Amino acid sequence: MALPSLMLAALGSSAYASNTDLVNPLIGNTGPEPNYAGGMIPSVAPPFGMTRWVAQTHQNWVSKTPYNWTDSDYIHGFVGTHQPAIWMGESGLVAVVPGASDAAVNAIFEDRGLRKAQEKFGASLYEVELLPENGGSINVEMTATSRVGHLRFTFDAKSQPYILIQASRPSQLFHSTPSSSHFNTTYPDGYVHIYAQQQQICGYSTEMQDTVIAPVSTTALWQEHLREGTGHGGFKGWFCARFDAPFAGHGLTQGKEQREDDIDGFGAELSAYARFALDQKTVNVRIATSFISMEQALYNLEQEAPDGISFEDTEAKTRAEWEEKLNRVELKGGSKDNQTTLVTAVFHALQYPYEISEYGKYYSALDDQVHEGVSYSGYSIWDTYRAEWGFLLLMAPERIPGMIQSMLNDYKEGGWLPMWKNLIETNIMIATHADSLIAEAVLKGFDYGYDLDVAWDAVWKDATVPPVKDWETLYEDREEGVDYEVRAGLSTSYGLPEKGWVNDDVHSESVSRTLGYAYDDYAAAQLAKRLGKPAWIVDMLLKRSMTAPWLVWNADAISQDDYPSDEDKKRFEGKTKGFVQGRNSDGSWAAPTSGFTEGDKWAYSFDIAHDIPGLVEKRGGNEAFVESLDEHYDGGWDWFGNEPSHHIPYLYTLAGRPDLTQRRVREVAGSNFNATPFGLSGNEDCGQMSAWFFFSALGFYPVNPVSLQYVVGTAFFDKMTVRIPVPKHHGAEAKSEKFYEEATHSYVLTVEAEGAQEKLYVKTLWVNGEERPIREVGYDEFGKGGHIRFEMSAEPVLEDSRGAIVHEEL
């Protein structure tokens, strides 16, 4: 069988001193439209950085990021962005725009673009040469720490250089209803003040695009604080820009108005600028950001890029942070493109969630207060609970207690664990999968650094307390004017013993909610068992989790009606029977196309990850189940760009056909990942797409993350070594572990699959020296390091009922 092009490259070993040199930040930056692009930007910042800095080719808002590789030949500035994903809004953006003019300063976005001559991209450095219309050139180099952007401008201009700092801009807000969607332009306020003697410009932006979908209790609290002069007074994205060259002039712009020599301004479409002497060839600007105050921004500046630091030193600091993480992965085999795809996946997956605490304190938009402690944002949990969270448990264990504490802080300040937190809760997506994150972490030994009792209280509340006005609210995606969504339908049907599903005629996305709640109940039950909660709690949660999926299972539903052509109807006649389907309040079946979140009945009929044996049985046993998987792929129903499809190729293994998992995984990898700007077929979704590739390259994937079992697939490289950081709580005992490496203070996981590029099938599997059935690998077998060896085969390998291995052509 011919392999997809991604996996056809010749064998070879990496010749790069650092994996950082393999990173291609352009991967997943472009595509035919937003749903078919990764939504990634070639930004610079360290792992989990608070503010990411990127060149700007267009204005960004929901469905548009600041930079697109195919977008334009012009750069309109360089922005510090807090937009975590393409379908989320921006907050507190600040832009830095160079120019050259003896009089007019171009502040309007459409007018200020400069043609780019060439660009260089990297994990810690971006560089571009810009060509002003009046001649000469401006070379821009950009790097960043977590809270400070450092830009160096080299001017070879015919007129006076200037640098403009944009505080506020016209903002496009996205509104969506079941029947339509549209944008409207708003004009958020900003503030700037020029400190000419200190060579400094400070200010803030009040822009936060996702307030339109924030819970109404949050926005009402903001309004109350503004009226009464209490709290923090609403969101402000603060900045302070410090220059290393004296100002030769300065002023403000507001809209198309330019006010030379002004130093202080407030309002919409507001910017400040500093002019420099014509012979000033190089200007460094370090621009610190904060969600707390101007004073905190200056403190962040002093901590991360103090006066006297060179551009090279700032870049080296950020590069070193990436090298510490990326060099924990060592690859043998595959081409440069293969290795670039894998290393860039690790690079992408280590950006989320991003820290928003600032040296021991943070601003919470949930209660409009500044608190002591730690906080993160960019929690796309409906996506990331599947594999990204498990990736972080391996690659960034030092961050996990803080990330969980952040979720518990959200619970204390807003009343609920996060669903999709973009500084504020947004209610985007469905279910309360933070329950799964906490359960998986605790079961993997991350039960320290936060209050377990508070964690349980938060999970238990998710499982038992419905949202306000549960009967009255549809909770359509991006519905405005509603409160916290959490488990919509809990009181109307899902939590009722006589029902147990989410009503399709009351709530949107009813089937997806029912299945999502069932999984979260399963996760909560495992957590309850681990924490020693009463048996009745465990039993209640388990019963709901194992019952609910089958209450929306229509055993009589068939696939034939899904095909538009008579040819396909005949081709798949009688193939697959039994699908999930929405149910109404009276128990009747809803329309077969109703009730799904970013998927359809095909994807969600396989989305019962905690009861795959039950699913196989419902589909008529292993053989019929495998046929239904084949129809899913061969009938064109798989949409890998959305997360409900991510685990599906691994289900063949659980039905006794690991050879078909191996084939499908390679097909999916080859069709959806490559080392070009088009290299992600769907949105990255805060690391989930990349985490799928990482685990699949290792040769196993967490179909059911809370089970701690990983389903075996097929490794992608001859050898892949991962040095897992030793979690702090392991202490001195780590040194006694078999796979501990003292030189790097790591647990070493080695996966060998000689000939993997040419041979996609697995003949035998060895785990820590023991031959194993090709089925599952436990977290306890590799979480503290391990040695996994795949003996590869060019032909599919089957196991008969007695366990003997036989070869058979597909």
317: three-class secondary structure by DSSP: helix
Helices (H), 447-509: 452-464
d(CA 232, CA 236): 9
Q: Is the pLDDT of residue 13 over 50?
A: no
Region of 356 on the Ramachandran plot (φ > 0 left; ψ -120 to 50 alpha; else beta): alpha
Q: What share of the chain is helix, strand, coil (3-state, %, to 5)?
A: 30, 25, 40
The pLDDT of residue 176 is 84
Reported as half-sphere exposure (CB side, CA atoms, 13 A), residue 214 has a value of 24
Omega of the bond leading into 353 within 30 degrees of 0 (cis): yes
Supply the DSSP string of 386-406, one letter for each residue: TTHHHHHHHH-GGGHHHHHHH
Q: Is the pLDDT of residue 6 over 50?
A: no
Q: Cβ distance 501 to 514 under 8 Å? A: yes
Residue 397 is encoded by which pair of tokens? 């264990």
The pLDDT of residue 70 is 86
Region of 433 on the Ramachandran plot (φ > 0 left; ψ -120 to 50 alpha; else beta): alpha
pLDDT band, residue 10 (cuts 50/70/90): very low
Region of 320 on the Ramachandran plot (φ > 0 left; ψ -120 to 50 alpha; else beta): alpha
Provide the residue type at 92 as one letter: G
Q: Cβ distance 683 to 87 under 8 Å? A: yes
Sign of CA dihedral 652, 654, 659, 665: positive
Q: Is the pLDDT of residue 316 over 90?
A: yes
pLDDT band, residue 178 (cuts 50/70/90): confident
pLDDT band, residue 799 (cuts 50/70/90): low
Cβ burial 574-600 (10 Å sphere, 16+ → b, else e) = ebbbbbbbbbbeeeeebebebbbbbbb
The pLDDT of residue 748 is 98
% of the chain surpassing 90 pLDDT: 84
Kindly report the average pLDDT of the chain as a whole number: 93
Q: Kindly give the pairing relationship between strand 776-778 and strand 786-793.
A: unpaired
pTM of the model: 0.95
pLDDT, tens digit (0-9, with 9 covering 90-100), for 180-191: 788 999 999 999
DSSP annotation of 490 reads I
DSSP annotation of 2 reads P
* 616/805: higher pLDDT: 616
Q: Cβ distance 7 to 757 under 8 Å? A: yes
pLDDT, tens digit (0-9, with 9 covering 90-100), for 626-643: 999 999 999 999 999 899
List 148's β-bridge partners, or say none.
288
pLDDT, tens digit (0-9, with 9 covering 90-100), for 234-286: 999 999 999 999 999 999 999 999 999 999 999 999 999 999 999 999 999 99
pLDDT, tens digit (0-9, with 9 covering 90-100), for 479-501: 999 999 999 999 989 989 889 99
CA dihedral 604, 341, 772, 617 (to 10 degrees): 10
Radius of gyration of the chain (CA): 27
Supply the DSSP string of 503-544, one letter for each residue: BTTTSSSHHHHHHHHHHHHHHHHHHHHHHT--HHHHHHHHHH
Q: Is the pLDDT of residue 802 over 70?
A: no
Residue 647 is encoded by which pair of tokens? 């685990």
Provide the residue type at 542 as one letter: L
- In words, the CATH class of domain 41-326 is mainly beta
pLDDT, tens digit (0-9, with 9 covering 90-100), for 99-116: 999 889 988 888 898 899
Among 84-98, 101-115, 446-460, 631-645, name the one with the lowest average pLDDT.
Answer: 101-115
Q: Is the pLDDT of residue 2 over 70?
A: no
Which range has the top average pLDDT, 214-228, 347-361, 678-692? 347-361
pLDDT, tens digit (0-9, with 9 covering 90-100), for 19-37: 999 999 999 998 777 777 7
The pLDDT of residue 730 is 85
d(CA 293, CA 356): 13
d(CA 620, CA 291): 56
% of the chain surpassing 70 pLDDT: 96
Q: Cβ distance 194 to 273 under 8 Å? A: no
Neighbours of 534 (CB within 10 A): 9
The pLDDT of residue 158 is 86
Rounded to an integer, the average pLDDT of 38-53 is: 97
d(CA 695, CA 763): 20
